[in-house]
Structure 1
């Protein structure tokens, strides 16, 4: 079994992004099974109105239909890093990760919990995801032939309690599709990913957007990490894909020899000392 992260540059035009994704997916190795992840905002990026126009209700629409066909025709498990989905009765959207099995069936979805409302010293400067998107309110762990997939998106990476909760729900592979800015990526991307891998003893699959998108610059550096935090594959820049083998026995051995999940005491100590 192998893990694959696709790195690409995306813009506001879905047909152009679709064609680029299709060309990259045709480069997949012939071996199966494959777990393939595409970045956050691979469908549409950099234009609020384009996101509003392209957003689909969850489970409906031609964009989701395209991902379903790719998964089925290529015989892959496909994780869509994110796309905009509609919220009934709201003017805002969810940014949603979708998981398709190798039959093209959607077997999981996750609405991004943490929204990127920050100021960054780059060409764009001010980011306010909450102007367009609403936060989700549920965790998602998906059963798969590769192990249990814990879903997250980009800015979620800065909140370790989310990943601890995913581990508690049985996650073995942490999915971190992203569009990290160049400034924050250079400073924090790899250290945060390695921390999430090490502290939760999980594989980490992190596909990133890369390149210039008008006044925005994304970091790329898609990586695959093992549960010891060791780098299995990395694509620092450009477009393409990275591949690494999945070794669930290594994961089990690391967890067995250093059972940190069983040793964790903070929640019990806090409960004992702060009961009302």
Structure 2
């Protein structure tokens, strides 16, 4: 068994306070015996006011939240999947970037969110990520304590081609950190996470933002761990901020792939 931790947060508009919360969660995860902790999308800053947020969005080399998390990872000898931070990507654009940090505090992998959330919801919410963010264009995997980890972020969840690519790369685990809205979360969060786990015959680990945030938004919560058969083995509900734990049996992956060999049986389909 491999013990993992998930941090379900209610990230605010002050990066220094968010960094303190993150480092406390990392320490709690280590004390609980986890080998790796997963945090949500936008763990360092969640602010829909882009003018106000701009003063805090810097190159990753100068990001104080990334530095604090890296130091805490090394201090506790714990791997961290930092779900994402907003970083300066140059040419007037930002990147929504995930980091995998090893147990010495070094960055083992980076992934920039590919799919931008540009939508008008019936609730009246309107989001235009592409106005500020530059999408990534690279599929990323990394070897870590949970085996081969595939990286995605939030809205990526709705694009099966990315998960098919990670399945072809035989990922053991796929991370889907998120800040899902409440309407879309209630409708689609659980079913999509379970579907992606089944399709890739892999564990899905989805650390999520939860609750009412300083910038006025509300997020759905329900951080999940789903096994390769599609069974939910952890659902953290709507609470937070809090750290949850799950023990995952990586041998389950090969058992499921033997029972339903969809990855081995897939064929190219011409359109």
**Correspondence for 2:22:** 21
Residue 225 of structure 2 corresponds to which residue in structure 1?
224
> Paired residue for 1:78, among 63, 77, 80?
80
Corresponding residue of 2:191 = 191
The range that moved more, 43-52 or 245-254, is: 43-52
2:256 is aligned to: 254
Q: Gapped runs of 5+ residues in structure 1?
A: none
Provide the C-alpha distance between the structure 1 equivalents of 2:169 and 2:66, rounded to a whole number of angstroms. 27
**Offset of 1:192 from its aligned partner?**
0.2
- Match of 1:83, SS? strand
Number of equivalent positions: 267
Q: CA deviation at 1:29?
A: 5.0
Distance 1:196 1:205 in 2: 11
User: Counterparts in 2 of 1:198-237, with a 5 A limit?
Assistant: 198-213=198-213, 214-237=215-238
Match of 2:110 in 1: 109
Deviation at 1:101, TM superposition (A): 0.7
- Whole-angstrom CA distance in 1 between matches of 2:128 and 2:34: 38
> Taking structure 1 as reference, are residues 132 and 178 closer, same or farther at Cα in structure 2, changes over 3 Å only?
same
Runs of 4+ in 1 over 6 A off after TM superposition: none
Q: CA RMSD in A?
A: 1.6
For residues 63 and 185 of structure 2, the distance between their equivalents in structure 1, rounded to whole angstroms, comes to: 33
> How many Å separate the matches in 1 of 2:223 and 2:108?
24
Separation in 2, partners of 1:3, 1:27: 12
* Aligned match of 2:68: 66
Partner of 1:11: 12
Q: Which whole-Å deviations, capped at 9, do the CAs of 1:3-61 have from their partners, x for residues lacking one?
A: 22110101111112122223333322536551211110111112313442222324444
The alpha carbon displacement at 1:263 in A equals 0.6
2: CA distance between counterparts of 1:23 and 1:78? Answer: 13
Match for residue 54 of structure 2 among 29, 52, 55: 52
Residue in structure 2 matched with residue 163 of structure 1 by the alignment? 163
Q: 1:8 to 1:33 in 2, by over 3 A?
A: closer
Quick one: distance in 1 between partners of 2:5 and 2:252? 18
- For residues 121-200 of structure 1, the aligned pairs below 5 Å read 121-122=122-123, 125-200=125-200
Distance in 1 between residues matched to 2:123 and 2:114, nearest whole Å? 24
Q: How much has 1:81 moved relative to structure 2? A: 0.8
Contact 1:210–1:220 (CA<8 Å) still a contact in 2? yes
Q: Secondary structure at the match of 1:28?
A: helix
1:232-243 pair list within 5 angstroms: 232-239=233-240, 240-243=242-245
CA contact (8 A) 2:8 2:207 kept: yes
Q: Which runs of 5+ in 2 are unaligned?
A: none
SS at match of 1:148: strand
Distance 2:44 2:93 in 1: 17
For 2:92, the equivalent position in structure 1 comes to 91
- Describe the shift of the 1:87–1:237 C-alpha distance in structure 2 as closer, same or farther (beyond 3 A): same
